[in-house]
Structure 1
Amino acid sequence: MTLTASYEFCRRLNARHGRSYYLATLLLPAWKRPHVHALYGFARYADEIVDSFTMTGDRAAALDGLTARLALALDGAHTDDPVLPAFTQTVRSFGIDHADIDAFLRSMRADLTVGRYATYDDLLGYMEGSAAVIGTMMLPVLEPLPGLAGRAREPARRLGLAFQLTNFLRDVTEDLARGRVYLPLEDLDRFGVRVTDLGRRAPTPAVRELLAFEVERARDHYRQALAGPDLLTPSSRPCVRAACELYGGILNRIEAAHHDVLGRRVTVPRRRRLAIFTRHLLAASAADRAERRVTVQVP
């Protein structure tokens, strides 16, 4: 597994499994894209171990194997793993915090044994590793403006949480099939919803009210992330803004469907996704060209 092949493997994972996210990455300068793909590829690779409907065998042992191979690869050892050469190269290149990687793997391990979260705070503890740290790992690649990396961290965390909660709302049925409920049980109790109600083919009025409440909770995370793009180098801003629109658009579609996420998978139509991409493409191209203009003074 060459480094080039590993980056290409990660790109294909992103293109296959993260259509909206992949579309947004096309707005980045070409040199940044492979590193974003590497981070996404690693996250998706681990997620498939714990979430795939088709994987057979001991998932805990498979995750242990990935963790062990990662530790060796981060120490410089050769690996034939398809994702780790690209991932570890990106981690080293950008000084990505190993504590974020550890937090992510802890949340992936939690998925093997935890299927319910009693409170929203409990869920946030899980999402800190499964989502918030994805935002902070992406941050060095997206390049905060000089001196603003500290300020950019919280919006990056919030955006990760917003994307994750959006996915939870869209994927209620799929998650339930895996034995998991990512809506806090205290919220189900508040609206008079039973877990079995989430397995119906159509939502009850109580389920619709519950989902409307969670949609607003997700939107609050998006609002908390609004300042993030302005803290990044201009060439990264169109990608992040487009991703916000694409994922935020899922919430709009959930509302348009009267919060019915049980009978069908809610998606943003392809035409709408392309319209968002096109609208941000001009700004992305202009920012990329501007950053390529350098004045070199020869001594």
Structure 2
Amino acid sequence: MAAPDTPPDSPPPISAVEMPSGKDAGTENFPVGSVLLPARLRPHVARFYAFARAIDDIADSPDLDAAAKIDRLQGFEEAITGRDTTDPAYAKGHALRVSLEATGVPAIHGVELIAAFKQDAVKGRYATWAEMMDYCRLSAAPVGRYLIDLHGGSRAGYASSDALCVALQVINHLQDCQDDFRVLDRVYLPADWLAAEGASVSDLDRAACTPGLRRVLDRCLEGTRRLLDAARPLPGDIIDRRLGLEAAVIVSIAQTLTGRLARQDPLAQRVKLGKAATAFCAARACAAYLMVPGAYR
């Protein structure tokens, strides 16, 4: 991998094609470009996040139709792959392309994210857990793969990273299941499980989970626990110890959120971690990573 040239910390300004949601790194469940990462690489992570936030906001905009979303997403794909290098509307894509060229990380991770968001523009239902997993791999795994490539790789390939990223995506879908349905008419729950448990998508519009919907959420959480079991070796697999430490923190946060979603109703309240709980997860993970041999095997 080429030695990275450090880009400016500030992302390009918002352009006319973007649809800013107001979300930023501070609103995410999990740390983005935190101080745990090497300082020389944080600006590159910031560029990737700015690009990912821009295309996610386009896909999630209730004010654009599917054709407009796909057209704008295609513009970002052309920018990061170099088919277009001049259109200022896609400045965050051009900034990421420059970063990728400096670090030697391939553009495929960004291209796959765009493919996932193009799918979001036209698809709002998933028939089975397997079909949902295919979507989650496309929409989440590229983020972990990008970070691994940027930090010099993993001793065990991408498998444990993919499992963690998919688990994080399911957690996010469960947290946001009501808003996704009400605002975007998207349901990231397997239709066959809803039918089997006597639930329907309209249950997502209620003030609290019906028993059938609760059982569907619990089945999703069981799948998430299996994914987190597969993700457990990740911190020890990553070559860069600082990224390994961040991965340990993210695994700890994900496990805690999974437990909360099992006990709390995401229709009745926002299920999230406060600063104190997040700090506790981080401290626990750092202690295990640094002081307990074999903690992540």
Bin of the TM-score, shorter chain as denominator length: 0.7 to 0.9
Q: CA offset at residue 125 of structure 1?
A: 2.1
Kindly indicate whether the alpha-carbon contact (under 8 Å) linking 2:232 and 2:251 is maintained by their aligned counterparts in 1: no
Out of 264, 268, 292, the residue aligned to residue 263 of structure 1 is 268
Q: In 2, Cα distance between the equivalents of 1:8 and 1:111?
A: 25
- The Cα shift of 1:26 comes to 2.4
Which residue is 2:133 aligned to? 124
For structure 2, the 5+ residue unaligned runs are: 1-6, 15-21, 292-297
**Structure 1: unaligned runs, 5 residues or longer:** 287-299
Task: Report the counterpart of residue 4 of structure 1 in structure 2.
Answer: 8
Cα distance in 2 for residues equivalent to 1:282 and 1:93:
34
| Residue equivalent to 2:19 | none
The structural deviation recorded for 1:132 is 1.7
CA distance in structure 2 between the partners assigned to 1:268 and 1:162 by the alignment? 16
State the shift of 1:268 in Å. Answer: 0.9
1:69 Cα deviation from its structure 2 partner: 4.5
Q: Which range moves more in the overlay, 209-218 or 270-279?
A: 270-279
Measure, in 1, the Cα distance between the counterparts of 2:288 and 2:128: 41
TM-score with structure 1 setting the length: 0.81
Distance 1:66 1:212, change over 3 A: closer
Q: Return closer, same or farther for 1:248/1:189 CA change in 2, 3 Å cut-off.
A: same
Asked if 1:200 corresponds to 2:210, the answer is no
1:32-85: per-residue Cα shift (whole Å, max 9, x none)?
A: 2222222222222111001135xx344532442343244245327245334224
Which of 176, 182, 185 is equivalent to 1:179?
185
Instruction: Tell me whether 1:112 sits opposite 2:116 in the alignment.
Output: no
Cα distance change, pair 60–94 in 1 and its aligned pair in 2 (3 A): farther
- 2:233 and 2:30 map into 1 onto residues whose CA distance is 21
Q: What is the CA-CA distance between 1:274 and the residue it aligns to? A: 2.1
Post-superposition Cα deviations, 1:179-229, rounded to whole Å, max 9, x if no partner, equal 011011011122121111122111112222221111110111111111111
- 1:273 & 1:9 partners in 2: Cα distance? 30
Q: Name the one with the larger helix percent.
A: 1
State the one-letter code of the partner of 1:20. Answer: F
Q: Do 2:58 and 2:73's aligned partners in 1 also have CA atoms closer than 8 Å?
A: no
- Partner of 1:42 in structure 2? 51
Superposition RMSD on alpha carbons, in Å?
2.9
Dislocated runs of 4+, deviation >4 Å = 278-286
Compute the TM-score of the two structures, normalised by the length of structure 2. 0.81
Q: Tell whether the 8 Å contact from 1:39 to 1:138 is kept in structure 2 after alignment.
A: no
The 8 Å contact of residues 47 and 92 in structure 2, kept in 1 or not, is answered as: yes
TM-superposed deviation, 1:166: 0.8
Note if contact 1:94-1:140 (Cα within 8 Å) is conserved in structure 2. no
- Which of structures 1 and 2 has the larger relative contact order (alpha carbons within 8 angstroms, sep 6+)? 1
**Are 2:28 and 1:18 aligned?**
yes
**Partner AA of 2:208 in structure 1:** A
Structure 1 counterpart of 2:4: none
Stretch moving more, 235-244 or 24-33: 24-33
Contact kept, 8 Å, 1:6 with 1:85, in 2: the verdict is: no
- What amino acid is the match of 1:186? D
**What percentage of aligned pairs have identical amino acids?**
26
Closer, same or farther in 2 for the Cα pair 1:14/1:25, shift >3 Å?
A: farther
Corresponding residue number in structure 2 for 1:217:
223
**1:38 touches 1:86 (CA, 8 Å); kept in 2?**
yes
- Indicate conservation of the 8 Å contact 1:235/1:284, yes or no: no
Matched, 1:156 2:164: no
- Aligned in 2, Cα 1:282/1:197: closer, same or farther, shift over 3 Å? closer
